[in-house]
Amino acid sequence: MFRIKNPIRQKYHPSLMKKLPFLMALLVWLWASPAFGYEYQLYKNGENFGIVVFPKTQLSEELDQYIQSLLLEPVESGEAVMRSGSKGENETYMMPLEVQKKYSIEKFMVIQVLTRSRMMIGIFDPEWGLTLPSSIFGFDEMKKNIPKTLDIFRGNNKRKEIHWKGKSKSNSGLKSRWTEISGR
């Protein structure tokens, strides 16, 4: 009697099929491992607003300079963690909660750099939670949206004035000076 081999059954080697659950578990463990995580770069301004960029390895010099031109200074970098919004909605990588508290940052943007010219931007606000639009922005579009978002964070005080007092070089007494800080 002739025996016909089932082509589907013979497609995979039996010893591989026995190891498949182990290989799948190993793959999941490696994927979730911190060694395969992202590094972030945190920027902060004097108004306690922040921008978190991840992965740090994709942070271009152009993006770094642009963020700093908006008076946001790099303050910390490290291993990004997966977090959800204040209302438990949405999830993305960002700085750990301890770092956020350390710098008293309540409102911030999260920029995920996909390529040099493609980014996704999320917004974290305690009132709104974490907003993660699915839109992908180019660098020029992102440059238009960041100042607008900073103005939204400011609320009714679109341009925050800071009163500086210090000694003038031309005058030995104290001299007041008003400086306007804006995201433009």
Structure tokens at 152: 């939204």
pLDDT at 155: 86
- Residue 66 inside a domain? The answer is yes
The rounded distance, in Å, linking the Cα atoms of 177 and 161 is 10
pLDDT at 63: 92
Please list the residues that pair with 49 across neighbouring strands: 107
How does residue 48 score in pLDDT terms, banded at 50, 70 and 90?
A: very high
Chain mean pLDDT for the chain:
76
How does residue 17 score in pLDDT terms, banded at 50, 70 and 90?
A: low
Mean pLDDT within 133-156? 89
**Counts for the chain of helices (H) and strands (E), in that order:** 4, 10
Classify 117 as helix, strand or coil. coil
- Residue 8 inside a domain? The answer is no
Most confident of 50-59, 85-94, 149-158: 50-59
pTM over 0.75: no
Burial 105-131 (b: 16+ CB within 10 A, else e): bebbbbbbbeeeeebbbbbbbeeebbe
Give yes or no for residue 157 having a pLDDT over 60.
no
The rounded distance, in Å, linking the Cα atoms of 80 and 92 is 9
How does residue 116 score in pLDDT terms, banded at 50, 70 and 90?
A: confident
Q: Which domain holds residue 144?
A: 38-154
Domain count, the chain: 1
- Residue 131 inside a domain? The answer is yes
- Residue 25 inside a domain? The answer is no
pLDDT at 71: 93
> Tokens 């909660």 label which residue?
97
